[in-house]
Amino acid sequence: MKIEQIYTGCLAQGAYYITSNGEAAIIDPLREVQPYIDRATKDGVKIKYVFETHFHADFVSGHLDLSKKTGAPIVYGPSAVPEFDAIIAKDNEEFKLGNVTIKVLHTPGHTMESTSYLLKDENGKDYALFSGDTLFLGDVGRPDLAQKAASMTQEELAGLLYDSLNKKIMVLADDVIVYPAHGAGSACGKNMMKETVDTLGNQKKMNYALNQPNKEAFVKAVTDGLLPPPGYFGMNVAMNKKGYDSFENVLHKSLKALSPKELETAVELTDAIVLDVREASEFYKGFVPRSINIGLKGDFAPWVGALIVDVKQPILLVTTLGEEEEAVTRLARVGFDNVIGYLSGGFESWKNSGKEIDTINRITAAQFKSELNIGTSKVIDVRKDSEYAAEHVEESYSRPLATINSWFADINKNEPFYLHCAGGYRSMIAASILKSRGIHNFKEIEGGFKSIAEAGVAKTNYVCQSKLVQA
């Protein structure tokens, strides 16, 4: 028996490759499935099953393509209603994989069909739990994503989750290994650990959700402080439930090289967004006017989903040379399949064509310190509210990047301001969005709050409530 966690950091997502005696199973595969097939071929094993823990909201799974290419059936837990052929397993049903057994544990609460898979080793001993979004390390799945579909409140779903955990998971032995579907950084939970594998015994000791005295306390704890889910989540659920275009087709139609003139024409004809995925350190020096920067070397796909929202939005790419396919792949992972081309030759070809370019006024933290007048200068902090609450520039405003589509309209275009995040990734995203909407009178701070703190700028952890609501 062999278990391999295939972890994708930018999505904070874990897929699993399990083999035993010439047979393999994949749990929660990514959209691009050829690596799993290549791995099975190399190992000389046949992919027998594709297990899905639930209808994922934060990424498009590769279950359909993998099943079509290998003939392996897709397995869901009880109450799942996919619009394609699949095995809908019964609670406690067992599937043989070589010399091991995978047992279905229906664990509703995150969603109604949420299912965990218990792996029993060659001797029939409980060995590992693939807990999907039911149990994370340090947290449990948020119970607010399936309210509409289940015709239940988040509190009612949280109550179901409590029952699932206590009746199906907490009764397992402490030495069972927990393999969750996500880790820190995922929007599917709020308190996940950076580690991606742990024992159930340790989770019983330190996971706040598993240590509540009763159901009422559990419901309150897991529903408190939940941020609104990203807008693209519902669209990903629909794709995972109904089906989607094959990844190869998406690549084929997306990788269309366009000259600067052709890119301009495509924007005019399709109302496409120009998405520049270069690093912030390159983007600020020059870019196609009104393009949006979300750097590929960061939490790229989740930020695309959170800020562009509509998976059907036409997208034109500007990338570092050679990264076109990687950008398309990572967009497809979260359902953004409508890439209609990329700028041939990258930004250099645009610049060399003599067309208009735009820039971001990026300054150092030292310059910011020399210019800052506390109480007079306007400073916008686009980190999360929790980051802001911990420590922030004195008299600054909290405006999280995730809600920029709501607050940007409140900005006075004639009033100068400073813009920063933690390290420069999010503030450059915000800067590009503000620029695209006609807001230019600002300076973005290189290195973000980390550099600001190192420069000795006045800081505080006092949160003035009026600062959180005043534009």
Write down which residue in 180, 202, 234 finishes a domain. Answer: 234
CA pair distance 262, 438, nearest whole angstrom: 24
Decide if 453 is inside a domain: yes
Q: Does the residue 80 lie in any domain?
A: yes
The reply to whether 294 and 412 lie within a common domain is no
Share of the chain above pLDDT 70, in %: 98
- Please, which residues bridge with residue 315 across strands? 273, 339
**Who's near 180: CB < 8 A, 6+ residues apart?**
14, 131, 132, 133, 135, 136, 137, 196
Domain-located, residue 373:
yes
- The answer to the question of residue 131 being in a domain is yes
pLDDT tens by residue, 149-207 = 888 999 999 999 999 999 999 999 999 999 999 998 888 888 899 999 999 999 999 99
Question: Domain check: are 213 and 276 in the same one?
Answer: no
Tell me how many domains the chain contains.
Answer: 3
Domain containing residue 40: CATH number:
3.60.15.10
**Are 58 and 123 part of one and the same domain?**
yes
Q: What percent of the chain has pLDDT over 90?
A: 89
- Do residues 57 and 80 both lie within one domain? yes
Residue 301 in domain: yes
Query: Do 148 and 222 belong together in one domain?
Result: yes
For residue 409, is it within any domain? yes
Q: Are residues 212 and 257 in the same domain?
A: no
CATH code for the domain in which residue 306 is found: 3.40.250.10
Q: Does some domain include residue 357?
A: no
**Same domain assignment for residues 270 and 228:** no
On whether both 22 and 103 belong to a single domain, the answer is: yes
Residue where one domain finishes, among candidates 352, 387, 414: 352
Tell me which residue range forms the domain holding 337: 245-352
- pLDDT tops 70 at residue 468: no
Q: Are residues 182 and 70 in the same domain?
A: yes
Q: Do the domain assignments include residue 240?
A: no
Q: Is the same domain home to 26 and 157? A: yes
Is the domain of 292 the same as that of 207? no
Instruction: For residues 224-233, give the mean pLDDT.
Output: 88
Instruction: Decide: 200 and 178 in contact? Cβ < 8 Å.
Output: yes
Contact 173, 220 (CB under 8 A): no
The pLDDT value recorded for residue 463 is 60
Q: pLDDT per residue over 132-152, tens digit each?
A: 999 999 999 999 988 888 889
Q: How confident is the model at residue 78 (pLDDT cuts 50, 70, 90)?
A: very high
367 and 327 part of one domain: no
pLDDT at 427 over 50: yes
